[in-house]
Structure 1
Amino acid sequence: MQPDKIDIAIIGGGLAGGLIAFAIHRAAPQLSLGLFEAGESYGGNHRWSWFEQDLGPAGTAFLEPFEKKEWAGGNEVRFPAHSRRLSSNYRSLDSRDFDAGLRRQLPQSAILTGCRAQGIDAQGVTLSSGERIAARAIIDCRDACPSEHLVGGWQVFLGQHLRTAAPHGVDRPVIMDATVEQPGAYRFVYLLPLSATEIFVEDTYYADSPNLDAELLRSRIAAYAQARGWQSETLHEETGVLPVITGGDFDAYRFSLSRTGVTLAGAKGGFVHPLTSYTMPIAVENALAIAEAARGDLSNLPAFVEARAQEHWRRTAFYRLLGKMLFEAAEPAERYRVFQRFYRLPEPLIDRFYAVRSTTLDKIRILSGKPPVPLGRAIKVLLGKGSPLVQGPRP
Structure 2
Amino acid sequence: MSDSEQDAMTDVAIVGGGLAGGLIALALNRHAPDTRFVLIEAGKVLGGNHRWSWFESDLDAAGKELLSPLRQTEWHKGYEVRFPKYRRKLDTGYRSMSSGDFHEALSRILPEGSLVFNRKASAIDARGVDLDDGTRIKARTVIDCRSFTPSEHLRGGWQVFLGRQMRLDKPHGIERPMIMDASVDQVAPHGNGGAYRFVYVLPLGAHDVFVEDTYYADDPMLDRGALSARIDQYCHQHGWQKGVPVGHEAGVLPVLTGGDFSAYQNEVRIDGVAVAGARGGFVHPLTSYTIPIAVENALAIAAEADLPGAQLAAMMEARARKHWRSTGYYRLLGRFLFFAADPERRVNIFQRFYGLRPRLIERFYAARSSSFDKVRVLWGNPPVSIHRAIAAMFKRGKPLKTPTQTETPA
TM-score, normalised relative to structure 1: 0.97
Give the secondary-structure state (helix, strand or coil) at the position aligned to 2:162: strand
Q: Of 365, 377, 382, which aligns to 1:371? A: 382
Matched residues in 2 for 1:53 and 1:356: separation? 12
**Aligned 8 A contact 1:185 1:333 in 2:** yes
Structure 1 residue 269 corresponds to structure 2 residue 280: yes
Give the secondary-structure state (helix, strand or coil) at the position aligned to 2:210: strand
Matched residues in 2 for 1:180 and 1:310: separation? 38
Give the secondary-structure state (helix, strand or coil) at the position aligned to 1:108: coil
- Correspondence for 2:88: 84
Q: Which letter maps to 1:10?
A: I
Q: Which letter maps to 1:127?
A: L
**Aligned 8 A contact 2:340 2:384 in 1:** yes
Q: Of 81, 87, 99, which aligns to 1:95? A: 99
Give the secondary-structure state (helix, strand or coil) at the position aligned to 2:222: coil
Change (3 A) 1:245 1:330: same
Q: Which letter maps to 1:170?
A: I
Matched residues in 1 for 2:177 and 2:105: separation? 24
Alignment of 1:179-218 (within 5 A): 179-183=183-187, 184-218=194-228
Q: Of 373, 391, 407, which aligns to 1:362? A: 373
Matched residues in 2 for 1:302 and 1:260: separation? 8
Q: Which letter maps to 2:74?
A: E
**Aligned 8 A contact 2:73 2:95 in 1:** yes
Structure 1 residue 391 corresponds to structure 2 residue 400: yes
1:375, CA displacement in angstroms? Answer: 2.5
- Correspondence for 2:229: 219
Give the secondary-structure state (helix, strand or coil) at the position aligned to 2:77: coil
Change (3 A) 1:116 1:393: closer
- Correspondence for 2:140: 136
**Aligned 8 A contact 1:157 1:202 in 2:** yes
Structure 1 residue 341 corresponds to structure 2 residue 352: yes
Give the secondary-structure state (helix, strand or coil) at the position aligned to 2:344: helix
In structure 2, list runs of 5 or more residues that go unmatched. Answer: 188-193, 404-410
Matched residues in 1 for 2:184 and 2:401: separation? 27
Q: Map Cα deviations across residues 57-98 of structure 1 (whole Å, 9 max, x no partner).
A: 110111000011111100000000111100111001100100
- Correspondence for 2:406: none
**Aligned 8 A contact 2:155 2:256 in 1:** yes
**Aligned 8 A contact 2:140 2:308 in 1:** no
- Correspondence for 1:233: 244
Matched residues in 1 for 2:44 and 2:320: separation? 29
Matched residues in 1 for 2:12 and 2:171: separation? 48
Bigger shift: residues 175-184 or 162-171: 162-171
Matched residues in 1 for 2:152 and 2:244: separation? 41
- Correspondence for 1:292: 303
Structure 1 residue 118 corresponds to structure 2 residue 122: yes
- Correspondence for 2:263: 252
Q: Which letter maps to 2:376?
A: R
Bigger shift: residues 168-177 or 243-252: 168-177
Q: Of 45, 48, 57, which aligns to 1:44? A: 48
Give the secondary-structure state (helix, strand or coil) at the position aligned to 1:145: coil
1:370, CA displacement in angstroms? Answer: 2.2
Q: Which letter maps to 2:339?
A: E
**Aligned 8 A contact 1:158 1:239 in 2:** yes
Alignment of 1:150-161 (within 5 A): 150-161=154-165
- Correspondence for 2:171: 167
TM-score, normalised relative to structure 2: 0.94
Give the secondary-structure state (helix, strand or coil) at the position aligned to 1:101: helix
Matched residues in 1 for 2:22 and 2:285: separation? 21
**Aligned 8 A contact 1:79 1:179 in 2:** yes
In structure 1, list runs of 5 or more residues that go unmatched. Answer: none
**Aligned 8 A contact 1:11 1:139 in 2:** yes
Matched residues in 2 for 1:119 and 1:166: separation? 51
Q: Which letter maps to 1:187?
A: R
Percent identity of equivalent pairs: 55
Structure 1 residue 312 corresponds to structure 2 residue 307: no
Give the secondary-structure state (helix, strand or coil) at the position aligned to 1:61: helix
Give the secondary-structure state (helix, strand or coil) at the position aligned to 2:211: strand
- Correspondence for 2:153: 149
Matched residues in 2 for 1:349 and 1:45: separation? 31
Q: Map Cα deviations across residues 99-152 of structure 1 (whole Å, 9 max, x no partner).
A: 111112211111111111000001110000011111111000000021100000
**Aligned 8 A contact 2:274 2:309 in 1:** no
1:392, CA displacement in angstroms? Answer: 3.9
Q: Which letter maps to 1:158?
A: L
Alignment size in residue pairs: 392
- Correspondence for 2:191: none
Q: Map Cα deviations across residues 277-330 of structure 1 (whole Å, 9 max, x no partner).
A: 110011001100111011444541011111100100011110111111101111
1:163, CA displacement in angstroms? Answer: 1.5
Matched residues in 2 for 1:277 and 1:244: separation? 7
**Aligned 8 A contact 2:274 2:310 in 1:** no
1:356, CA displacement in angstroms? Answer: 1.1
Q: Which letter maps to 1:334?
A: R
**Aligned 8 A contact 1:371 1:378 in 2:** no
1:234, CA displacement in angstroms? Answer: 1.2
- Correspondence for 1:326: 337
